[in-house]
Amino acid sequence: MKSKYVSIGYSAGAIGMIEAIRQYDKKSKILALTRENFTVYGRPAIVDYAMGKIGDEGIAYRGLDYSELRGVDTLLGKEVIKIKPGDHTVEISGGKTVEYEKLLLNMGGRPISPPIPGKELSGVMYFFNLDDARGMRRMVLEKGAKRAVVIGGGLIGLKATEALSHLGVKVSIVELAPAILTRGLDPVGSEMMTKKLCDFGVDVYTANEVAEIAGDKKVRSVRLKNGEIIDTDLVFISIGVIPDAKLAEDCGVKTSNGIEVDRKMRTSQKDIYSAGDVAKGYNFVSKDNMVIAIWPVARKMGYFAGLSMMGIDCEYDGSIPMNSLYFDDLYTISFGETNPSDYSSYEVMEKFYDERTYRKIFIKDGLIAGAVFVGDISRSGVVKGLIYEKIPVASYKDKLLDKDFSFIHAPKKYRDLIYTFPFKDLEAK
Amino acid sequence: MKRVYPVEEYCVACHLCEVACIVEHSKSKNLFYAFSEKPKVNSKIEVEMEGPISFSASCRICEHAECVEACPVAAMWRDDETGLVKVEDDRCIGCWMCIMACPQGSITPRQDHDEGLRIADKCDLCPGRENGPACVEACPNNALVYEDRDKFAKDRRTLKGSMHIFIESDDTAIQE
C-alpha cells in the first residue's frame, strides 16, 4: 500500500493536515490510520455523545462522510507496530505495510493510569474517547449504575461529571489539589464552578485522594486518604493525559514528554512531521515548546504540518493554552496564564458583575498574559485577539473590565485593520 | 468576496441594523412579532459605542477562519464554493469553542433554556436575500457598505502564521 501523505492518528491534527493539503492538491493520496473503530470525530464532543444529545452522525467530524468529501483513505481499527523512517514505511497490525512520502505523527495522548490499588476492577473506567463515552452510557443506562466517583477535578473530570449527572448519576469528585480546575481557571472561577457543581448535587472533595478502590470483581466503594469511604458503582480516572509518543521514540524521533518539533512541525527524522496532543508546539507567551492539548491548537499545528509537508514555506507562530469550560449553564473561557505561581510579576485586574459573572485579566509588560471569563463570555475572543497579535493595552487597560469591552476601546489603527479590509492570511487560501 | 464593512465616521448608533437583522432572521419577518418570537432571535450585528464613536460590527469572514478551526464537530464550516463561513445549527453543540477562538468577538451564544436551544450565532450575510444583507439596506446613513475589497488586501504583508495582519507597529501601509 502506498500513499503520498500518511497520518498516524485521525483527529484534529490530521484534519488540519488534510484541510491544508486539499486547498492546493485535490489529487494526491492521503491515508489516515487510527486504532479506533470510528472515523474522525470531535473528541471534545464525547460529553454530548455520552449524554445522548448527539449520535454517530453528530459527533463525526462534518458527518460520517468527511473522509469521502476530502478524498481521504482510512484504515480504522489498526494499530501501528513500527515506523521505519529509512524505508519510509509504516508497519501495521495484520502484517500490512504502508509506504509514505511524508508522515504525520498525530497519536494524541493517553490517560495516565495511577498506581491505585483496585484499579483493575470492573467499573473502573476512563473518559477519554468515543468508546469510553459508549461505555459510560452502557454502564448507566443498561447496567443501572447510580453512583460514580470521578478521580481528578480537571477538564476531563468535569466533563465526565457533567455527562454522568445529566444521566442521573450521583457524582463525587476527588481532587488532589486544594481546588478543582486549577489548570484552566483561577481560584475565583474554580470556586464559582465548585459552587455550581454542589448546587447540582455533586460532592466535591478537594485536597484529598483515593487511597484504594474496593470491591469483588466489581467496584463497590473507594476509600479516601482521610479514611472516608464512598460507596460507588463506577470510578472514572481522569488525573491527566500524557503524550502517546512511544512509536516515535522507537523509531528514533527525538522526544521529551512529547515529540520535539520545530516551527515547521518537522521532527528530528526526515519526512516525519508531528502535530496535536503528542507534539510539543511553540507557546509564544512562555516562549518555549510545550504540549497544549486542546482541539484548536492541534488543528492549527496540523494545518502548518500539512503546509510544510507540501513544501510550502511557513512558520508556526505558536499558540497559548485556552479553554472553554462549562457545566450546565455556567460558562467559562480562559486564555493563557490563569494561575501564576508568581502573582507579583503580573498586574491583575478583576471584577465581579454579579454573583455569577466575573472577569480577570493578567497584564505583563503592557500585554495581556492571561484572562478568565466566567458567566458572560460573549466577547472574550477579543482578548484572545489582543494576546495573539501582541497589541499593547496599557493605554486603555481600565476599559478591559467594561462589560461590553471591544475594539471600539482600542486605538483606531487597530480597529481600522480589522474592519476596513478583509483579513489576508497565510499564502494558503 | 463581498463583505459588510462599517464606516465609523458615518455611524450614528441608531441600531436600525440590529432591528433589520432580527426581523430578517425571524420566522415571521414582521417587525411587530420578531422581537417576541420563541426561541429568541439574536441580532448578528452589534453596534459598539464609546463616547462619540460608534460602528456596527459583524463577522469578518476571515480568510483563515479560526472559528472553523476551533469547532470540534465542524458545525462552523466554510463553504468550499462561496467561501462563506456558516454555522450549521443542527450540528452545533454549544461548546463555545468558536466564541473562544474568534478574535473579533463576532460570535454570540444564542440560547433559550426553555426551548433547549444552545447554539453559536453569527452573520450569514442574509443568504438568498435579493437586495443583499438587511443591515446594509436598513442603514440610513451609509455607515454600512457591502462590497468586495479583496483587491486592497493583496499587497498586505504575508503573515508568518498569525491569522491576522495587524501585528507589531509597521501598519501604516495598510492604513493608507
Q: Read out DSSP for A373-414?
A: EES--TTHHHHHHHHHTT---GGGGGGGGSTT--GGGS-HHH
Q: Which CATH number fits domain A329-419: 3.40.50.720, 3.40.50.1970, 3.40.50.2300, 3.30.390.30?
A: 3.30.390.30
Cβ density class A17-40: b for 16+ within 10 Å, e for less: bbbbbbbeeeeeebbbbbbbebbb
Q: Cell for A191?
A: 470556586
**B125-166 pLDDT per residue, tens:** 999 999 999 999 999 999 999 998 877 765 554 433 333 333
Taking 90 as the threshold, does the pLDDT of residue A359 lie above it? yes
Q: How far is A423 from chain B (nearest CA, A)?
A: 5
Collect all residues of chain B within an 8 Å Cβ-Cβ radius of residue A313.
none
The pLDDT value recorded for residue B173 is 36
How far away is chain A from the Cα of B173, in angstroms, using its nearest Cα? Answer: 11
Q: Are A81 and A93 in contact (CB under 8 A)?
A: yes
Q: Is the peptide bond before A422 cis (omega within 30 degrees of 0)?
A: no
Task: Tell how strand A89-92 and strand A96-105 pair up.
Answer: antiparallel
With DSSP H G I counted as helix, E B as strand and the rest as coil, what are the percentages for chain A, rounded to 5? 30, 30, 40
Long-range CB pairs of B109-117, under 8 A, 24+ apart, other chains included:
B109/A331, B109/A377, B109/A378, B110/B39, B110/B40, B110/B42, B112/B38, B112/B39, B112/B40, B113/A329, B114/B38, B115/B38, B115/B39, B117/B39
Residue ranges of the domains in chain A? 2-110+242-309, 113-239, 329-419
CB contact under 8 A, B96 and A423: no
Is the domain spanning B59-122 CATH 3.40.190.100? The answer is no
Which residue shows C-alpha cell 470510528?
A38
CATH 3.30.70.20 in chain B, residue ranges? 1-58+125-157, 59-122
Edge-to-edge strand ranges of the sheet holding A322-327: A322-327, A330-336, A367-374, A357-364, A347-354
**Helices A155-166 and A130-137, packing angle to 10 deg:** 30
Give residues with Cβ within 8 angstroms of A125, minimum separation 6: A132, A135, A136, A139, A234, A235, A236, A237
Q: Which residue of A has its CA nearest to B50?
A: A408
CATH number for the domain formed by residue range(s) A113-239 = 3.50.50.60
A267-299 pLDDT, tens digit per residue, is 999 999 999 999 999 999 889 999 999 999 999
Return the residue of B nearest to A66 by Cα.
Answer: B74
pLDDT tops 90 at residue A48: yes
pLDDT of A427 higher than 70: no
- Spatial distance between the Cα atoms of B50 and A415, rounded to a whole number of angstroms: 13
Q: Where residue A423 falls among pLDDT bands split at 50, 70, 90?
A: low
DSSP-H helix ranges across A89-232: 130-137, 155-166, 187-199
Pairing of strands A96-105, A2-8: parallel
What's the CA gap between A70 and A59, in Å, rounded? Answer: 18
**Does A2-110+242-309 match A113-239 in CATH topology?**
yes
> Which chain A residue is nearest to residue B167, measuring alpha carbons?
A389
B103–A415: do the CB atoms touch at under 8 Å?
Answer: no
Q: What is the mean pLDDT of residues A340-345?
A: 90
The predicted-structure confidence for B45-93, as pLDDT tens digits, reads as follows 999 998 889 999 999 888 778 899 999 999 999 888 888 899 999 999 9
Q: With an 8 Å Cβ cutoff, are B105 and A382 in contact?
A: yes
Query: What CATH number should be reported for the domain whose range is B1-58+125-157?
Result: 3.30.70.20
Q: What is the pLDDT of residue B1?
A: 83
Residues of A in contact with B107 (CB under 8 A): 381
**Residue B27 Cα to chain centre, angstroms:** 20
Smallest Cα distance from A425 to chain B, Å = 5
Instruction: Note the pLDDT of residue B154.
Output: 59
Q: Which fold has domain A2-110+242-309?
A: FAD/NAD(P)-binding domain (3.50.50)
From A14-28, A230-244, A343-357, A399-413, the region with the lowest mean pLDDT: A399-413
pLDDT tens digit sequence for A232-272: 999 999 999 999 999 999 999 999 999 999 999 999 999 99
What are the CA-CA distances from residue A288 to residues A237, A392, B8, B167 (Å)? Answer: 30, 21, 40, 21
Pairwise CB contact (< 8 Å): B152 & A421: yes
